[in-house]
Amino acid sequence: MAGVGSACLTIGLFAALYAAGASVYGALNRRREWVSSGRRAIYCLAALCLVAFAILEAAFLRTDLSFALVAEGSSTDTPTFYKVTALWATQDGSLLLWATLLSLFSSAVLFLTRRTLRDIAPWATAVLGVVAAFFLLLMVGWENPFGTLAVAPQEGAGLNPLLRHPAMMIHPPMLYTGYVGFSIPFAFAVGALITRRTGADWIRATRRFALVAWTFLGTGIMLGALWSYTELGWGGYWAWDPVENASLMPWLVGTAFIHSIMVQEKRGLLKVWNVSLICATFVLALLGTFLVRSGILESIHAFGASTIGVQFLLFIATVIAASAALILWRLPDLRSEAKLDSLVSREAFFLLNNLVLVGLCLVILWGTFFPLISEALTGTEESVGPPWFNRLTTPLALALVLLTGIGPVLAWRKVTPSALRRILLVPVAATLAALAGLLAFTNAADSPASLAMFCFVAFVLTVVAQEFWRGASARRTMTGEAWPRALARLLGRNRRRYGGYLVHAGIAVLFLGVAASSAFLEQRDVRLSPGDSFEIDGYQVTYREATARLGGDSSGTGAPIAFGAVLDVRKDGKHFTLRPSRNFYSSADPSLGTISRFFEGEATSEVDVRWGLRKDLWLAVRPDISALEKPIAEADAKFADTPGDVQALIIAALAERYRNDPPPAAFRAIASPLVAWIWIGGAIAVLGALVAMWPTPEARLRRVRAIYSARLGKELSRA
């Protein structure tokens, strides 16, 4: 089967190159059949990638250890759920996922535009074909996911324990879908530039793809934060790690893009800016893919030495150079159709929000690459930490949230002072009320930045609520509908607008969580013996007993040994139990003793979180197994060549010993306020984005009519 997979990739490479060549030839010579043939080659590529993906996934599911990739990243005792995810936990497998998603997205967009955009589409096909060819070339030439082992090993290495978290099932595919999705508008932008069709056609055709990409990328980032919070054992959700930054940067520029294209659609402005933004987004998406694989920056996601760093850099450099040249070449065709009338207008505020977003991205880009920059400038490698990022991004984030409230309610072109007063009266009043309330009843003033953020969030939420109220009451006066129905209809009939408002509300809520949890969390590190207790933020936490479980922990990660703790928590007469634990995975290192091998492999914290709308209590335990070191060493010496079942008995005895006479264990407890709202806000934003991208009935009707009239035209011309 591995041979079939390899063949699929090789044929796919040729299909991608053919697609690029045929569509360019067809476009230059006005031969429509060649263009169609190129498009069909992309469909064919998608089919080939799917077959390859299915073969590899099947190999993972049945743990075919003759596949090198399966032997490296999976094992027979890996739970089935994680066997599925193990495919994209490997370098080669994740490249295949990239290529597969790209070919599917490309096929979808080319299918949808097959009867429209006859000029631009062939060039977009060519661009997508070249990008796909690059990824296939990487796999065919250097990182073949279908490499086989001459002698299949008895057992695979297993999936890295840190990646055994439910979010890992969807987090990487979501990020990749986001990265890949932005290649669609990029390809069409290039097509528009080449054909000088720089109007809003390419934007209308790909706007929804940009929105889909944006949503997926955002969801992926949110899930990554959740993974960090609940799996990594340090209690934070964002560390300004290079790989995290790499995913945030294209998202920020992509956000700027989906705003500024509205200005081009409505007013014919910002054309150069839009094509530059989408090129930058695509380059940053490639950079994100590259950073995870290159090892050029120190990161917690440390990277293995990779063989494809140079190829990636060359490709990124080519894309940058080619896009810049193309934009400069077509500069005369990118003149604005109108002028900015007033600085108090929606387009002006969209421009401002764009500048803030791009500014944020530049700050993060600078900080991420600072080790390389400083080494180039001063000769010593220096780095900036989270405090630097926080200090610079906080003011920009504040400005961004404020703009989130103001931008969408301003009219296009020009806003009169009286209209401005009417729009902003209630929100400003609400903001001031929130400020007064926060100062009077909370200690929010301890952190001025957070206080400002709370006020701005109140402002945004009031603006959005006011817009919904206005729209719904207008419907009510006209149609006499009841409130819920009026609201639902309002949302359904103006999906882009009100979906967008929902996204803004979600982002505001997200920042509420960030501001509260970053400034007002309480954290304690303690060492406790059973019976001891400590207090954190009003919670009385008592270490009741130690636990030791063998074979199968509660969260289904497949860890052989889990030592943990049961803690009773009391607050205000309420009572609940937390059960954090630590999983121990066995090591494959043959130099270790038969028993110590079980404790010397990876170990991961399985934290327990009591989620709450007002406050989370987060608890991690680090059992001290040094007390077991002596008996483990003795067992190593005594039972050097015992069969598996006897080993199991010894491990059970050791676990028993830990349970009955546990040494003091180290605990980290974090009480962070409102942190759950980060993910609630994220979910609201995703919901809003779904509403905004869902095709409206009118649009569907228009499309059906267009197809019908095109057909009619064809018939008539034939007749």
Shortest distance, CB of residue 589 to other proteins, whole angstroms? 5
Q: Can residue 145 be called a binding residue for other proteins (CB under 8 A)?
A: no
* Half-sphere exposure (Cβ direction) of 354: Cα atoms closer than 13 Å: 21
Q: Are 54 and 132 in contact, with CB atoms under 8 Å apart?
A: no
Q: Are 605 and 231 in contact, with CB atoms under 8 Å apart?
A: yes
Closest CA to 240 of 318, 297, 194, 315: 297
User: What letter represents residue 197's amino acid?
Assistant: R
Closest CA to 424 of 380, 396, 453, 462: 462
In the three-class reduction of DSSP (H, G, I as helix; E, B as strand; rest coil), residue 113 is classed as coil
Q: Can residue 624 be called a binding residue for other proteins (CB under 8 A)?
A: yes
Residue 67: DSSP 8-state: B
Shortest distance, CB of residue 684 to other proteins, whole angstroms? 30
Site string for other proteins, 655-674 (x = CB under 8 A): -----------x-x------
Shortest distance, CB of residue 359 to other proteins, whole angstroms? 6
Site string for other proteins, 580-599 (x = CB under 8 A): -------xxx----------
Shortest distance, CB of residue 102 to other proteins, whole angstroms? 20
Specify the residue, 462 or 605, whose C-beta has the smaller distance to other proteins.
Answer: 605
Stretch of 127-135, 294-302, 405-413, 414-422 contacting other proteins, by CB under 8 A: 294-302
Beta bridge partners of 621: 667
Shortest distance, CB of residue 549 to other proteins, whole angstroms? 18
Site string for other proteins, 148-187 (x = CB under 8 A): ---------xx-x-xx------------------------
Shortest distance, CB of residue 382 to other proteins, whole angstroms? 4
Q: How far is 719 from 704, CA to CA, in rounded Å? A: 22
User: What letter represents residue 578's amino acid?
Assistant: L
Burial of 262 (0-12, 13-18, 19+ CB in 10 A): buried
Residue in this structure with the two tokens 């063949």, named with its chain if needed: 7
Specify the residue, 162 or 200, whose C-beta has the smaller distance to other proteins.
Answer: 162
Shortest distance, CB of residue 664 to other proteins, whole angstroms? 9
Distances (CA, A) of 456 to 299, 411, 427, 680: 33, 21, 10, 18
Site for other proteins in 369-398 (CB under 8 A): 370-371, 374, 380-385, 387-388, 391-392
Which token pair is 513? 């969580």
Specify the residue, 220 or 499, whose C-beta has the smaller distance to other proteins.
Answer: 220
Site for other proteins in 513-572 (CB under 8 A): 525, 527
Q: Can residue 366 be called a binding residue for other proteins (CB under 8 A)?
A: yes
Q: Are 352 and 403 in contact, with CB atoms under 8 Å apart?
A: yes
Stretch of 205-213, 253-261, 362-370, 548-556 contacting other proteins, by CB under 8 A: 362-370
Shortest distance, CB of residue 342 to other proteins, whole angstroms? 11
Q: Can residue 34 be called a binding residue for other proteins (CB under 8 A)?
A: no
Shortest distance, CB of residue 162 to other proteins, whole angstroms? 6
Distances (CA, A) of 234 to 204, 359, 424, 678: 44, 29, 42, 18
In the three-class reduction of DSSP (H, G, I as helix; E, B as strand; rest coil), residue 582 is classed as strand
Q: Can residue 626 be called a binding residue for other proteins (CB under 8 A)?
A: yes
Specify the residue, 298 or 661, whose C-beta has the smaller distance to other proteins.
Answer: 298
Specify the residue, 258 or 308, whose C-beta has the smaller distance to other proteins.
Answer: 308
Site for other proteins in 71-90 (CB under 8 A): 72-73, 89-90
Q: Can residue 363 be called a binding residue for other proteins (CB under 8 A)?
A: yes
Q: How far is 548 from 655, CA to CA, in rounded Å? A: 6
Shortest distance, CB of residue 571 to other proteins, whole angstroms? 24
| Burial per residue of 340-360, b for 16 or more beta-carbon CB atoms within 10 angstroms, e otherwise | eeeebbbbbbbbbbbebbbbb
Which secondary structure element, helix H or strand E, spans residue 88, and what is its range?
none
Q: Can residue 304 be called a binding residue for other proteins (CB under 8 A)?
A: yes
User: What letter represents residue 491's amino acid?
Assistant: L
Q: How far is 210 from 35, CA to CA, in rounded Å? A: 24
Shortest distance, CB of residue 424 to other proteins, whole angstroms? 24
301, 485, 638, 714: which one binds other proteins (CB under 8 A) = 301
Q: Can residue 242 be called a binding residue for other proteins (CB under 8 A)?
A: no
Specify the residue, 446 or 525, whose C-beta has the smaller distance to other proteins.
Answer: 525
DSSP 620-687: EEE--GGGGHHHHHHHHHHTTT--HHHHHHHHHHHHHHHHHSPPPEEEEEEEEETTHHHHHHHHHHHH
Specify the residue, 91 or 100, whose C-beta has the smaller distance to other proteins.
Answer: 91
Site string for other proteins, 192-221 (x = CB under 8 A): ------------------------------
Please tell me the count of residues contacting other proteins according to CB under 8 A: 57
Shortest distance, CB of residue 695 to other proteins, whole angstroms? 37
64, 217, 622, 677: which one binds other proteins (CB under 8 A) = 622
Shortest distance, CB of residue 378 to other proteins, whole angstroms? 8
Residues in the chain: 719
Stretch of 229-237, 250-258, 464-472, 704-712 contacting other proteins, by CB under 8 A: 229-237
Q: How far is 5 from 61, CA to CA, in rounded Å? A: 16
| Burial per residue of 613-642, b for 16 or more beta-carbon CB atoms within 10 angstroms, e otherwise | eebbbbbbbbbebeebeeebeebbeebeee
Q: How far is 115 from 153, CA to CA, in rounded Å? A: 53
Using only C-alpha atoms, the chain has a radius of gyration, in whole angstroms, of 28
Specify the residue, 103 or 299, whose C-beta has the smaller distance to other proteins.
Answer: 299
Specify the residue, 293 or 495, whose C-beta has the smaller distance to other proteins.
Answer: 293
Q: How far is 605 from 667, CA to CA, in rounded Å? A: 11
User: What letter represents residue 529's amino acid?
Assistant: S
Stretch of 76-84, 262-270, 559-567, 619-627 contacting other proteins, by CB under 8 A: 619-627
Specify the residue, 86 or 410, whose C-beta has the smaller distance to other proteins.
Answer: 86
Residues at the interface with other proteins (CB under 8 A):
72-73, 89-91, 94, 157-158, 160, 162-163, 232-234, 292-293, 298-304, 306, 355, 359, 362-363, 366-367, 370-371, 374, 380-385, 387-388, 391-392, 525, 527, 587-589, 602-605, 622, 624, 626, 666, 668
